[in-house]
Amino acid sequence: MSGLIGIGINTKQKHNLVEQIYNALVYMADLGEEGSGLCVAYGSSIKKHRELSTCDNQRLIYEMLSDQKWQVVIGHDKKALEEEIPVEAVGPIKIRPLKDSKYNIYVAFDGYFLGANLLKRSLEDSFRFRSADQGEIAGALFQEALEQTESLVEAGKHLEEVLKGRGYYSTIFLINNDKENKLVGIRSTRGVTPLCYGVHNGLVYIASESNGLDAAGVEFKDFVEPGQMLIVSADEFKKVQVSESKPAPCIFQAIYFGSPDAYFFKNDQDIFSLRKKLGQHLARLYPNVEVDAVTYVPDSGLGSAEGYAEARKLPLIATLKKNRHTKKTFNITEENRRKAEVSRKVNCIRTQVKGKKLWVNEDSIVRGSVLGQGTAYTLKEGGVKSSDFGISYGPIFFPCLIDLDSVKRRKRIASDLYILELKKINKEVTKKIAEKAGLEEKFCSVHYNDLKALEDTFGKNDFCRACIDGNYPVNEIYLPDWLKRKLEEFRKAEKPYFQS
């Protein structure tokens, strides 16, 4: 997911907003490490800056923009699915109609929808596209309706009507019509990606995560509800329901993507607490594994490790050092390059691990490269006697919606293992991890969480866990044929994991 932040002034005054945007973008940089940018506006004056680097490397530009006071500011930390992207794909992106328009629209977008290329082709007679970013398509759909209706609410409804059933998104618009500037935030019907807001001294802040509000010095007010639109200008601040609310927040946001200090779905549930609860469930499932201490893969394994250690009354120790200068390897498809990047992700503190039997908490396993070629191998080289890996999430049987275009390049290690019970799934994945790491199976045992743990932590029906159960938050007519066939096979098969 990407990081979004917007500030709009609900007064006639001007404010220096850039510093707050900068702080929020720096804090949310883990959400989007491929690039960042911001757009600022007052009256008819609009300035924009984007770079293929995180915003902490762009301090000089932000200081230059801070010299003036602005009415609306939006920022974007870009997370790309591709290995490399052009700067044109980094938000905020300007929407470019081919005909003269009284509206200047900039968009910062987080989400994914199916059939994007067909939608783009249907708009090419009216808009000039400069990137493959789906936010540019969403912005064109929004501007098309705004030109026709001159109503922000109707434009929001049109965007939802077109994209509903195709996917999900959270998005922030800066809208200028020479007379005034407005800030608009929309969260799609299913609410898969987060969006929240805060209000302070006549300023309205919209952010993809609540910790972005913390960094801006603003108290969290509430989540933007699924299907809801926020409109902010000098004269108004209102919330409008532009489509039905059918929430299905992504569980993986809490498992992996999200920051531990951010709220998840409800303002009494921070992500760290949820991860800790998952660790407690691992202790319920595996209470007798013989280990000397509990540790974790930084950073997302910490909460689960604390829950497991407390439940079993075992010492919790830090053993792995994360290299902050490596990128997430999820979107690296070339095998040798990915292997090299994985090997640089972590190193172990040898004095902490030598001769110990460790329980190691990890958030999830997708392909198994990071755990096998990275973590397990590193621990073995550091002198660990044995490693038992407790996996916060369950086995991933299906690709994420955002990964459908690259599924052949991203083989999931537990694919098709739903025909086995949990104990046998653990054994099969252990065998594959050991093979990747070049280790004996007894050295790197895998222990997944069960379905009960996920349902007890998150609920049975209110969240998206399509990568486990195949229930995608879209209309299945938009899914590719190969996935429809796979889902049909899955639904007919015996599935012991789901019955345990």
Where does residue 66 rank: exposed (0-12), middle (13-18), buried (19+ CB within 10 A)? middle
**Whole-Å CA distances, 8 to 13, 29, 70, 413, 463:** 11, 21, 9, 45, 31
For residue 162 the two structure tokens come to 């077109």
For residue 168 the two structure tokens come to 């999900």
Question: Cα–Cα distance between 410 and 415 in angstroms, integer?
Answer: 11
Q: How many CB atoms lie within 10 A of CB 492?
A: 8
Q: Is 449 helix (H, G, I), strand (E, B) or coil?
A: coil
For 271-499, the fitting CATH number among 2.60.40.10, 3.30.70.2740, 2.40.160.10, 3.40.50.2020 is 3.40.50.2020
Highest averaged pLDDT of the listed ranges 96-100, 265-269, 341-345: 96-100
Q: What is the largest CA-CA distance in the chain?
A: 71
For 3-247, the fitting CATH number among 3.60.20.10, 3.40.1190.20, 3.30.428.10, 1.10.3720.10 is 3.60.20.10
- Please report the sign of the dihedral spanned by the C-alpha atoms of residue 281, residue 282, residue 287, residue 292: negative
Question: Cα–Cα distance between 35 and 172 in angstroms, integer?
Answer: 17
Q: Is 74 helix (H, G, I), strand (E, B) or coil?
A: strand
DSSP β-ladder status, 263-264 and 266-270: antiparallel
127-180 pLDDT per residue, tens: 999 888 899 999 999 999 999 999 999 999 999 999 999 999 999 999 998 778
Share of the chain above pLDDT 70, in %: 84
DSSP 41-59: EETTEEEEEEESS-GGG-H
Mean pLDDT of all residues in the chain?
84
CA 264 to chain CA centroid, Å, is 12
Residue 218 pLDDT: 86
Angle CA 341–347–348, to nearest 5? 155
- To the nearest 10°, the Cα dihedral for 61, 63, 65, 67? -150
Highest averaged pLDDT of the listed ranges 82-86, 306-310, 379-383: 306-310
Rounded to two decimals, the pTM is 0.89
CA nearest to 77, candidates 133, 140, 27? 27
Reduced to 3 DSSP states, what percent helix, strand and coil does the chain have, rounded to the nearest 5?
40, 25, 40
The domain ranges of the chain are 3-247, 271-499
Residue 435 pLDDT: 86
